[in-house]
């Protein structure tokens, strides 16, 4: 398919063109950057929603329910599931994915899994680029699901307009050990499997923990600096304490995704969050910051590609390897030599 035609059909929301465009981007095939540059002006329509949480929290089931509810409301929905390719959890995830693809017979739904391994320039960049394609293809909601291991939650937060953290009553014991970063990136908490014992207790614990953190942030500000309490970290909480109605208080929703319970309430919370994001200008601010991060990442990737494909770096590494192996040169000496070449504008 010719690249102009691909772009036209992608923007028209054709599924085949979308699948092809994603494949071009995922594999960094010729023209992928031009394609992404072209769609850039058409972005911003979709709401990007991150769904994260520990393994076994029922994220996939919840996502399936959200898809169903959005479809019932006439919206087009895309799901991007980030598979952490753990060699120890691979099987279970795959099962979820296959099950969910039953809803994918619907033209208004698009589901895609991405593996964390081997994408040029890292998963973070590529998954954001795939979100752009989904956005450009006219989806109203993009649900990005990640298993909560490692760095992935924070990466989701950096790509999403709204981030949902899904826990289960059994997470209760662990709530104290959740690092503060994860509490703060969540715009909405979900206690899923809420028909099990301990759901209300977990909700209270989350609320208390959020309250303590808000309280501490406020208390850390010396009293005589009351007028400038929004300067450090505790800004949002502090504004709330100061009576500013623009603060967002993270709600805790109870759901039983397997039975569809609480899903409407979660959707309402997401709508409220979006309304808040828009009204306060936070949405614009988040998207702007996201674009800055993205631009840096794209510059990094382009530079790396140039370094290894168009300069002497690869050749130099190969030529010096014997000396490095024998201990006569170190990798740092080779790096310094490469860099010297770059600085002097050396070409191949």
Residues 271-290 touching a copy of itself, rule: CB under 8 A, are 284, 287-288
Site for a copy of itself in 53-92 (CB under 8 A): 54, 84-88, 90-92
Structure tokens at 225: 């600096």
**Is 336 near a copy of itself (CB under 8 A)?**
yes
Closest approach of a copy of itself to the CB of residue 197, in Å: 20
**Is 324 near a copy of itself (CB under 8 A)?**
yes
Spatial strand order in the sheet of 109-115? 109-115, 77-83, 141-147, 47-53, 162-167, 188-191, 252-254
Q: Which residues contact 267 (CB under 8 A, 6 or more apart)?
A: 66, 69, 70
- Alpha helices for the chain (secondary structure H): 3-11, 15-26, 32-39, 59-72, 90-100, 123-136, 152-159, 180-185, 199-219, 235-241, 263-280, 282-310, 313-325, 331-343
CB atoms inside a 10 Å sphere around CB 29:
11
Site for a copy of itself in 234-263 (CB under 8 A): none
Closest approach of a copy of itself to the CB of residue 241, in Å: 26
49 DSSP β-pair partners:
143, 162
Structure tokens at 234: 């505790």
**Is 14 near a copy of itself (CB under 8 A)?**
no
Site for a copy of itself in 100-129 (CB under 8 A): 116-117
Closest approach of a copy of itself to the CB of residue 78, in Å: 21
**Residue 145 phi, psi (nearest 5):** -105, 130
Residue nearer to a copy of itself on the CB measure, 23 or 151: 151
**Is 296 near a copy of itself (CB under 8 A)?**
yes
**Is 44 near a copy of itself (CB under 8 A)?**
yes
Residues that contact a copy of itself, how many (by CB under 8 A): 76
Closest approach of a copy of itself to the CB of residue 337, in Å: 9
- The 3-state secondary structure of 89-150 reads CHHHHHHHHHHHHHHHHCCCEEEEEEECCCCCCCHHHHHHHHHHHHHHCCCCEEEEEEECCC
| Contact with a copy of itself (CB under 8 A) among 69, 75, 267, 317 | 317
**Residue 193 phi, psi (nearest 5):** 55, 40
**Is 342 near a copy of itself (CB under 8 A)?**
yes
Lookup result for tokens 């993205």: 294
Closest approach of a copy of itself to the CB of residue 49, in Å: 19
Name the one range near a copy of itself by CB under 8 A: 37-45, 191-199, 208-216, 267-275.
37-45
Residue nearer to a copy of itself on the CB measure, 3 or 86: 86
Pattern 145-184, a copy of itself, x by CB under 8 A: ---xxxx-x-----------------x--x-xxxx-xx--
Residue nearer to a copy of itself on the CB measure, 34 or 259: 34
Cα 182 to its chain centre, rounded Å, is: 13
Name the one range near a copy of itself by CB under 8 A: 17-25, 72-80, 229-237, 299-307.
299-307
**Is 300 near a copy of itself (CB under 8 A)?**
yes
Residue nearer to a copy of itself on the CB measure, 41 or 224: 41
Cα gap 66→145, rounded to integer Å: 12
SS3 of residue 344 by DSSP? coil
């Amino acid at each position: 398919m010719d690249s102009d035609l691909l772009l036209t059909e992608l923007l028209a929301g054709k599924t085949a063109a979308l699948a092809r465009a994603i494949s071009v981007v995922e594999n960094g095939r010729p023209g992928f950057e031009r394609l992404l540059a072209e769609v850039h002006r058409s972005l911003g329509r979709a709401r990007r929603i991150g769904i994260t949480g520990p393994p076994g929290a029922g994220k996939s089931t919840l996502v399936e329910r959200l898809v169903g509810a959005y479809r019932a409301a006439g919206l087009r929905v895309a799901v991007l599931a980030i598979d952490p390719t753990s060699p120890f959890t691979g099987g279970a995830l795959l099962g979820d994915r296959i099950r969910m693809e039953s809803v994918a017979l619907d033209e208004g739904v698009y589901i895609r899994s991405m593996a964390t391994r081997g994408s040029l320039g890292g998963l973070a960049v590529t998954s954001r680029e795939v979100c752009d394609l989904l956005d450009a293809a006219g989806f109203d909601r993009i649900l990005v699901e990640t298993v909560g291991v490692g760095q992935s939650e924070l990466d989701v937060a950096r790509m999403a307009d709204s981030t949902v953290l899904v826990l289960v009553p059994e997470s209760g014991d662990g709530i104290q050990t959740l690092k503060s970063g994860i509490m703060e990136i969540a715009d909405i908490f979900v206690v899923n499997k809420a028909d099990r014992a301990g759901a209300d207790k977990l909700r209270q614990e989350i609320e208390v923990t959020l309250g303590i953190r808000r309280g501490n942030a406020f208390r850390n500000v010396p009293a005589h600096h009351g007028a400038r309490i929004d300067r450090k970290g505790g800004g949002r909480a502090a504004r709330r304490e100061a009576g500013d109605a623009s603060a967002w208080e993270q709600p805790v929703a109870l759901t039983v995704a397997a039975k569809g319970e609480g899903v409407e309430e979660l959707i309402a919370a997401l709508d409220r969050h979006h309304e808040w994001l828009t009204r306060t200008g936070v949405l614009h601010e988040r998207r702007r910051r996201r674009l800055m991060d993205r631009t840096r990442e794209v510059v990094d990737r382009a530079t790396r590609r140039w370094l290894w494909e168009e300069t002497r770096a690869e050749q130099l590494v190969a030529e010096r390897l014997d000396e490095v192996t024998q201990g006569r040169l170190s990798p740092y000496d080779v790096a310094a030599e490469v860099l010297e070449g770059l600085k002097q504008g050396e070409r191949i």
